A = this chain, B = another copy of it.
Amino acid sequence: MARGLGRICKGFQRLGSLSSIQTQLRQPSTSVSVRGTTLIRTMVALPTLFSSKPRDFSLPNSSWGSEMMQLYEHYNSQCEVETEGGEKQEGPWRRLPSYNRLLKYATGGVHLSKIIQSKARLFTRNIRDPGAAFEYVLFVNSEEQKCVCVFQAGHLLEGPPGHVHGGAIATMIDTVTGTHATILSGPVMTANLNINYRSPIPLGSTVLLESSLDKKEGRKTFISCKVTSSDGSKLHTETTALFLSINFSHLLLGE
């Protein structure tokens, strides 16, 4: 374990999803610190260098069903609330944008150029056909230290006939808990996922993933995550996840 962790800390991190990182980088108050503050400015500025705006996969598309849309609107409506005086202000929830490249818009050193393949795509966003695979959007509630994800499972995620593959469910759990841990603790790496599968998820259905912080101990962040039907009545999986904090700078700057 010690050797493995040594390797992990040397040149690596568990990002969870770009959304969490981008969110952090746009909020310089978080703990990400790479060579002072240069990286933050670089990361935020770089998208403007590209001719086309990257697609934000967390926004609704025509494949989203009514359940997906209802849950999206439920949380999205709480991202900005109106005060009694009619002014708008930040609400308890925040939607996290989501792209299919982790570092397309990041600064890169010699090391980065080597390890990032030009064709690489984020696993959960590698199919562009709307509705075919993972359709999801994450919202975070910093005050309650919670994260939710509305997930509509497409027909390309089949495991048991007509139902979602256990690995696709694990993928969403890793994505949500990893993103949540990154928001809470900065750069982390998945160390353990302990998933109990309670009932299968039919293909095409919309489920809700709810992630909450259990505790933080030194470099360790413990997260719990439940997957339920969209109305919360059916429990699909229960998970505990452990993440280890690592040094972000090693990865990004090729040190």
Report which A residues bind B (CB closer than 8 A).
1, 3-5, 7-8, 12-15, 102-103, 112, 115-117, 119-124, 126-127, 132-133, 155-168, 170-175, 178, 189-200, 202-204, 235, 251
Contact = CB atoms under 8 A, between A and B. Distances in A.
A12 B163 contact: yes
11 contacts: A5-B198, A8-B199, A15-B159, A115-B161, A116-B162, A117-B155, A122-B165, A126-B133, A161-B251, A167-B172, A194-B195
B157 A123 contact: yes
Contact of A121 (B155, B171, B199, B235): B155
B123 A158 contact: yes
A190 B166 contact: yes
A4 B161 contact: no
Nearest to A194: B194
A163 B121 CA distance: 11
B120 A158 contact: yes
Nearest to A104: B161
Closest 4 CB pairs of A and B: A167-B171, A115-B162, A4-B198, A170-B170
B191 A123 contact: no
A56 B42 CA distance: 47
Contacts of A194: 192-195
Given A123-B168, A166-B171, A170-B195, 17 more contacts: A1-B198, A5-B198, A7-B199, A112-B161, A120-B158, A123-B156, A124-B167, A127-B127, A160-B189, A165-B174, A166-B178, A166-B190, A167-B167, A167-B168, A190-B197, A191-B197, A194-B195
